[in-house]
Amino acid sequence: MAGAILELRDVSRHFGGLKAVNGVSLSIEEGTITSLVGPNGAGKTTVFNLITGILPLSSGDIRFDGRSIAGLPPYAIARRGLGRTFQDPRIFYEMSVIDHVVAGFSLRGENPLAAILRGPRMRHETRAARDSALRMLDEVGLRRRAHEKAQDLSFGEQRFLSILRTLAGDPRIVLLDEPTVGLDRDSVHDLTRLVQRMAREQKKTVLLVEHNLDVIFDVSDQVHLLVGGSIALSGEPSEIKRHPRMIEAYLGARYAALRP
């Protein structure tokens, strides 16, 4: 399909006899926001782990930018331009806030020889990364806390920091695993805006696993409902919203039957 940046072709993952993900095919257009929804245990996070290479595929193929990434080591997949966050912020407790973001960049100074020699290019690049990191922190209101340890941030701030850390690597597609879990209303609003900015202004593709239906229907271009490891329903938010299968998946079959 033209314009598809990420394509899953009949992807399956079995754990023994359990089919955690079973024949999932989906295609994600560049620059769009796609949501993966479904009840707990539907296989959403497993799909993320398959895409990022943390888990090997049992069968099927995953193509990123037209080339297969199945079987590549996770760091190589990430380097092609695929970033992800986790359900927990998983911040680096002992690291300062700004260092988090700087560590997300891919820098010449990560080479030990370049680190020792301190050439002008390496120093310039490192300084530029710190400046960019400060600008990014400014956008989410964390600039004044740049030099504190990350463990002193609130849970919500840690969540934003974990997203910035991923964005620092300038990924083309960002996988966000339940980014609004544990956030208060204001933070959810800020996060929604951040995700929309990522797609609209920075032209990033976003794949979202989310339980907050308001957020999903607010930001998504495409929604896929995952039930029991398979895609039960796909479509635009307006189509999905009142679909009986969606209601059934979230509220149970009896409730779905009551609805017109």
Which residues contact another protein by CB under 8 A?
52, 54, 73-75, 78-79, 83-84, 86, 90, 92-95, 99, 102-112, 114-116, 118, 122, 126, 129, 165-166, 169
Under 8 Å between Cβ of 89 and 161 = yes
Under 8 Å between Cβ of 177 and 162 = no
Using the minimum distance from each CB to another protein, give the nearer residue, 62 or 129.
129
Q: Which amino acid is at 125?
A: E
CA distances to 24, 107, 115, 122, 250 from 112, rounded to whole Å, are 42, 11, 5, 11, 51
* CA angle, residues 60, 63, 67, in degrees to nearest 5: 125
What's the closest the beta carbon of residue 252 comes to another protein, in angstroms? 35
Using the minimum distance from each CB to another protein, give the nearer residue, 170 or 190.
170
Smallest Cα–Cα separation from 216: which of 27, 38, 19? 38
What's the closest the beta carbon of residue 231 comes to another protein, in angstroms? 24
Using the minimum distance from each CB to another protein, give the nearer residue, 206 or 240.
206
- Strand pairing class (222-227; 173-177): unpaired
- Strand pairing class (18-29; 4-15): antiparallel
What's the closest the beta carbon of residue 233 comes to another protein, in angstroms? 29
Q: How far apart are the first and last CA of the chain?
A: 36
Using the minimum distance from each CB to another protein, give the nearer residue, 97 or 240.
97
What's the closest the beta carbon of residue 201 comes to another protein, in angstroms? 22
What's the closest the beta carbon of residue 19 comes to another protein, in angstroms? 24
Smallest Cα–Cα separation from 207: which of 33, 69, 31? 33
What's the closest the beta carbon of residue 137 comes to another protein, in angstroms? 16
Q: What is the CA radius of gyration of the chain?
A: 19
Using the minimum distance from each CB to another protein, give the nearer residue, 43 or 105.
105
Q: Which residues neighbour 45 within 8 Å (Cβ) at sequence distance 6 or greater?
A: 87, 177, 209
What's the closest the beta carbon of residue 151 comes to another protein, in angstroms? 10
Using the minimum distance from each CB to another protein, give the nearer residue, 97 or 223.
97
Using the minimum distance from each CB to another protein, give the nearer residue, 60 or 109.
109
Give the chain's count of helices (H) and strands (E).
11, 10
